[in-house]
Amino acid sequence: MTSEFDIESRSAAKHRAILAAAEKVFLKSGYDGTSMDEIAALAGVSKQTVYKHFADKERLFSEIILGTTNKIDAVVKQVADKLTDTQDLERDLGLLGREFITTLMNPNLLRLRRLVIATAERMPKVSTAWYEQGFERVLATLASCFQRLTEQRLLMVDDPLLAANHFAGLLLWIPVNQAMFTGGTQIASKVELDRYADAGVRTFLAAYGVKLKPGARRPK
Amino acid sequence: MTSEFDIESRSAAKHRAILAAAEKVFLKSGYDGTSMDEIAALAGVSKQTVYKHFADKERLFSEIILGTTNKIDAVVKQVADKLTDTQDLERDLGLLGREFITTLMNPNLLRLRRLVIATAERMPKVSTAWYEQGFERVLATLASCFQRLTEQRLLMVDDPLLAANHFAGLLLWIPVNQAMFTGGTQIASKVELDRYADAGVRTFLAAYGVKLKPGARRPK
C-alpha cells in the first residue's frame, strides 16, 4: 500500500529531477534551444509529468534562476555574519571580498546570468524577479553588514545601500563583464579573482574606512 | 557619364544605408529575429547588394557594434581631455562622471549591449572584439587621464588601469545591471544617473584623491 507520504516524496523527487535536468539543458542549449521533450527525457519522466509540475518553459526557467538567488544570498549572509565580531576588519573584509567574488563568478551562474539578460526583453517579469530577489537582495545583505560595522565605528558609511553598490561594483565590474562579453571564453582564474577582490576591498576601505589619527587606537 | 567618384560615393551611401537599416532591425527584432531580406527592404536595396557589402549577418552585426565603440571612445576622450588643465578637480571629474554615465546609458547602446551578451557564446569573436575595442579601450582612455592627473599631483593612483576599472564600476554597476536585467523596462532617469555619477565620483576621490593637510594648498 502506498502512503500519502510516499506519493508526496515521489512527487517532490520528480520535481527536483525535472529542475536538475532543465538546468542542464538550459545551460547547454540556451532558452530557445531548450525543449520540454529533452527535459522530460533527461529527467526520466513523461512530458505530461513535466507539464504537471511546470505550466510552461518560462515557469521552469523562472524557478531555476530564482533558486540560484537563494543560494547566493545564503552564502553572502554567511560570510557577512562572520564580520559581526571582527577583530581585524581589513583581513575579514578581504575574506568576504574573496568569497563574494568566487561565489558570483561561478561559471554556471554566469551562464544563467547571460541567459537572463538575453531573455530580459521578452520575459521582463522573470528577469526583473532575478534582479530584485537576487541582485538587490544580496546588496541589501551587504548593506546591513556595512550598517553594523558603521555602528561599531569600524566603517564610516552614510548610505549603506550605496556603499554596498560601490563594494559590488569595485569587485565585480571587470570579471563579470569580461565573462559576459567573451561568452565564457575568458574567465578570470582564481589568482586573478583574488587580485580583483583584494584591490576592490583596498579601494573600498580607502573610501569608507575609519581614518585613525597616527597613534590612535581603534575603539573597542 | 558616371565618374568613378560617383560610383564610389553611391556605393558608400548604400553601405551606410544598409548599416542604418540593419541597426534598426537588430534593435527591434534581436539577432535571430533579423533577416537580410528585411534589412534590404528597409535600406531600399536588393538582397544581392546587401551580400555584396557584407558577406553574412554576423559581419553586418559586427560592423554595427564595433561602430558604436568608436563613438563612445571619442566621447570619453573628449571629456577626459578637458580634465588636463583642470583648476577644480572635484567639479571637472564630476562633469566627466555625468557625461560618462549618460553616454554609456544610451538606451540603444544598452540594447546592443544586451544583444552582444546574448550572442556571446555563439559568436565569441564578435563579442570579444566589442569587449576589447569598446570596453577595454574606454578604460585605457580613462587610465591615461588618471595617469596625467597623478603626474600633476591631483590624484594618487598607483595602477591607472585598475583605477579606471574602479571608476567605471563605481558609476555603472547599478544602472547598467538594472537596465540589463529588467530588459529596459526600468532605466534610470537623468536625475538618478546624475546621482549615481556624483556618488561614484565622491567615493572615487575619497579613495584616490590627494589628501591635503588642513590649511595646505594644492600644488600649482
Judge whether A120 is closer than 8 Å to chain B, CB to CB: yes
Of B1 and A205, more confident: A205
Judge whether B199 is closer than 8 Å to chain A, CB to CB: yes
Choose among A159, A178, A183: nearest Cβ to B124.
Answer: A183
- The single residue listed with the C-alpha cell 537596465 is B179
Percent of chain A exceeding pLDDT 70 equals 92
Cβ–Cβ < 8 Å for B64, B26: yes
A215 confidence band (pLDDT: 50, 70, 90):
low
Mutant choice from B156, B161, B182 vs A, greatest count of A C-beta within 10 A: B182
CATH of domain A65-208: 1.10.357.10
**Across A37-51, average pLDDT:** 95
Mutant choice from A173, A186, A202 vs B, greatest count of B C-beta within 10 A: A173
Domain with CATH 1.10.10.60 in chain B: 1-54
Domain with CATH 1.10.357.10 in chain A: 65-208
Answer whether residue A219 shows pLDDT above 90: no
According to DSSP H, which parts of B30-159 are helical?
36-43, 47-53, 57-82, 89-104, 107-118, 124-130, 136-151
A72-119: pLDDT as tens digits: 889 889 888 888 889 999 999 999 999 999 999 999 899 999 999 999
d(CA B98, CA B175): 13
Choose among A135, A166, A181: nearest Cβ to B203.
Answer: A166
Query: In the prediction, which pLDDT does A211 show?
Result: 73
Cβ–Cβ < 8 Å for B171, B195: no
Shortest alpha-carbon distance between residue A59 and chain B (Å): 17
For residue A89, give Cα distances in angstroms to A70, A149, A154, A208, A209. Answer: 27, 9, 7, 12, 9
> Is the CATH number 1.10.10.60 carried by domain A1-54?
yes
Beta bridge partners of B155: B209
B97-150: pLDDT as tens digits: 999 999 999 998 999 999 999 999 888 888 998 899 888 999 999 999 999 999
Domain with CATH 1.10.357.10 in chain B: 62-208
| B174/A183 CB distance under 8 A | no
Residue A25 CB-half CA count within 13 A: 22
Query: In the prediction, which pLDDT does A5 show?
Result: 63
Chain B residue closest to A157 (CA)?
Answer: B203
| A121/B208 CB distance under 8 A | no
A220 confidence band (pLDDT: 50, 70, 90):
very low
Provide the residue type at A28 as one letter: K
Chain B residue closest to A133 (CA)?
Answer: B181
According to DSSP H, which parts of B105-159 are helical?
107-118, 124-130, 136-151
CA angle (A193 as vertex; A189, A194 as ends), nearest 5: 120
B214 confidence band (pLDDT: 50, 70, 90):
low
B11-41: pLDDT as tens digits: 889 999 999 999 999 988 888 889 999 999 9
A204 confidence band (pLDDT: 50, 70, 90):
very high
Query: In the prediction, which pLDDT does B220 show?
Result: 45
Answer whether residue B83 shows pLDDT above 50: yes
CATH of domain B62-208: 1.10.357.10
What DSSP string describes B8-24? HHHHHHHHHHHHHHHHH
Query: In the prediction, which pLDDT does A84 show?
Result: 83
d(CA B137, CA B66): 12
A2 confidence band (pLDDT: 50, 70, 90):
low
**Complex ipTM:** 0.88
Judge whether B174 is closer than 8 Å to chain A, CB to CB: yes
| B203/A122 CB distance under 8 A | no
Residues of chain A positioned with their CB less than 8 A from the CB of B130: 181
Mutant choice from B165, B176, B195, B210 vs A, greatest count of A C-beta within 10 A: B165
d(CA A169, CA B172): 8
